[in-house]
Amino acid sequence: MTSTSNTIASQYLCARCGDTNQRRRVRWPEGFVCRRCYQRATRCRGVCPCCALPNRLLPGLDTRGKPICTDCAGIDDPRLTCTRCGDQDEPHRRGLCARCCLTDDLTDLFTAPDADEITPELQPLLEALTTQENPRSAMIWLRNPDVLDLLTGITTRRYPITHATFADHTSPRIGRHLRDLFVRCGILPAYDRNLDRFTSWIDTKLATTDIRQARDTIAGFANWNHLRKLRTRAERAPLPEGAILSAKQEITVAIDFVNWLHNRSLELGSATQADIDTWIATGPTTRSSAMMFVRWCTRHQHMTPDLIFPHRTSRRTPVSSDTDRYTQLVDTLQRPDTPIWVQAAAVLLLVCAQPVTRIAALPLDVIATADDGQVMINFNADPLSIPASLAAPITALTRRRPHMNTASNHTSPWLFPGRSPGQHLNPQTMMKQLRNNGIDLIGARNSAMRELLRTIPPAIVANQFGFNPGTTERHALTIGTAWSAYPTLHENSEP
Ligand SMILES: [Zn+2]
Ligand SMILES: [Zn+2]
Ligand SMILES: [Zn+2]
């Protein structure tokens, strides 16, 4: 009796896990193997470390506990061989391996009820799914009702094979996953996920936004300028989020721009430079995002072709304080080693608010001395008189211009002759010299212009100093805004 009870006990002892409570499954050379250990063993594949054969089922164990193939382990179990394909695997159903079962299931799924064969477009998907690493997980995935809905819908042609079918599906996650799969199989053309979202964003934006004029122009800008460009770009590499964001911003601001014009009873086609300058000057910095739209419109005859939409160089216009500017001027004029031409250029920049590119190219004859000795300068229309204290470096310059000893230069027509014969001074050279003298080129010039505008109306400043009327208008508006923000100060400053 003792021997019998020993036999029973050993029958139920799993040779692998030592558990006696699991249901036994098979008897292998090492002893009984429980269900749980059998399943684990028959799902292990790879190169057998014993015989070095690749892609083997590795249910056995060598002396060190490493998984080895059936031949090396001496496991002779016909159930581990698929009755159809001959591959070794844990039997999944009726002597068939998981892969053969998956092939059967997918063939059923991809065949419409009234058809003899699978829907031909789905053939590449069938191949992709049945050759994947783990057929078992594919079978589990196929039980998902959303997956089934999409796949049967496509099989029976209830759903067309388009990106929209997946994009509009009630389960976005499954839709996305299947869509990617369809693209990878070549059933659907490639798409960029960001581009795709952007496309539907444009549709929604155009359909739901109050666009008070030029709707077709806005749509053209969105589709032809942005979408087409991004599509081309997406063919080369995935679109970065930033590209989409700035495209959205430009379209949104373009709509704001046409509506803003409409509210001022202006039509897009007849908007002027002053309108554009006012748009930029009187709103948040995001307004400069209308630049692409305006440029596109001028190129495509939706707006007057000679309009200029300036590039935004910084978030706000840099402006030096008057004190800083005066200090820069006085320092430059008083430093004994400063060349006379640099002193003259400093006056023209810091007092007359002229841009360096224009200063460098001033002809000699802009300077004139009136009968009463008053030095006059003519930037644009009427000659302006220069205060005597500031005129000195300019009159000195007319007598001692630089680079005049070059043979070919003594008839130079320029106020600032350059080193090269017949040329005026290179503006870059001038900028460098002015900067070396501690002058903040942009900030100080803007400060000078604002000083002019505090006493002279913008249109006159523009005319006399040769500025773009939009620029003076913009500066004047900014000063106005600053003043109105301090009503008490404003009141107190007036008698
Ligand atoms: Zn076990
Ligand atoms: Zn082996
Ligand atoms: Zn098989």
Interatomic CA distance for residues 448 and 321, integer angstroms: 9
* Ligand 3 mean position, distance from CA 474 (Å): 79
Among the bound ligands, name the one nearest to the CA of residue 92.
3
Among the bound ligands, name the one nearest to the CA of residue 58.
2
**pLDDT per residue as tens digits for the range 435-467:** 888 898 888 888 888 888 777 777 777 777 878
List, in order, residues 6 or more apart from 142 with CB less than 8 Å away: 102, 105, 106, 109, 148, 151
Among the bound ligands, name the one nearest to the CA of residue 70.
2
**pLDDT per residue as tens digits for the range 188-203:** 887 777 888 898 899 9
The pTM of this model reads 0.46
* Ligand 2 mean position, distance from CA 462 (Å): 92
**pLDDT per residue as tens digits for the range 56-94:** 899 999 888 899 999 999 998 888 899 999 888 887 888
User: Which architecture, in CATH terms, is 323-487?
Assistant: Orthogonal Bundle (1.10)
* Ligand 1 mean position, distance from CA 14 (Å): 5
Q: What is the DSSP secondary-structure string of 365-387?
A: GGEEE-TTS-EEE-SSSS-EEPP
Dihedral pair phi/psi, residue 34, rounded to 5°:
-75, 165
Q: What's the pLDDT at 103?
A: 95
* Ligand 1 mean position, distance from CA 384 (Å): 104
* Ligand 2 mean position, distance from CA 80 (Å): 15
Give the closest residue to 322 by CA, choosing from 436, 455, 490, 433: 455
Q: Residue 293 in contact with residue 226, Cβ under 8 Å?
A: no
What token pair was written down for 45? 């594949």
Among the bound ligands, name the one nearest to the CA of residue 17.
1
Ranking 95-104, 155-164, 373-382 by mean pLDDT, the lowest is: 373-382
Dihedral pair phi/psi, residue 68, rounded to 5°:
-130, 165
* Ligand 3 mean position, distance from CA 147 (Å): 24
* Ligand 3 mean position, distance from CA 86 (Å): 6
For helices 427-436 and 441-455, what crossing angle results, to 10°?
Answer: 90
Q: Note the Cα 456 to chain centre separation in Å.
A: 44
Q: Which residues, by Cβ under 5 Å, contact ligand 1, an ion? A: 14, 16-17, 34, 37
Is the pLDDT reported for residue 12 higher than 80?
Answer: no
Q: What's the pLDDT at 482?
A: 39
Q: Which residues, by Cβ under 5 Å, contact ligand 2, an ion? A: 48, 50-51, 69, 72
* Ligand 2 mean position, distance from CA 66 (Å): 11
Q: What's the pLDDT at 407?
A: 57
Give the other-Cβ count within 10 Å of 65's Cβ. Answer: 7
Interatomic CA distance for residues 20 and 340, integer angstroms: 105
Interatomic CA distance for residues 294 and 288, integer angstroms: 10
Which phi-psi region, left, alpha or beta, contains residue 74 (left: φ > 0; alpha: ψ -120 to 50)?
left
Among the bound ligands, name the one nearest to the CA of residue 25.
1
Q: What's the pLDDT at 468?
A: 78
Q: Residue 309 in contact with residue 294, Cβ under 8 Å?
A: yes
Per-residue pLDDT band for 270 (boundaries 50, 70, 90) equals very high
Q: Region 277-299: what's the mean pLDDT? A: 90
Q: Residue 49 in contact with residue 62, Cβ under 8 Å?
A: yes
* Ligand 2 mean position, distance from CA 50 (Å): 5
List, in order, residues 6 or more apart from 70 with CB less than 8 Å away: 56, 57, 59, 60, 76, 77, 80, 88
Interatomic CA distance for residues 92 and 84, integer angstroms: 12
* Ligand 1 mean position, distance from CA 29 (Å): 14
Give the closest residue to 14 by CA, choosing from 25, 3, 29, 2: 25
Interatomic CA distance for residues 68 and 41, integer angstroms: 10
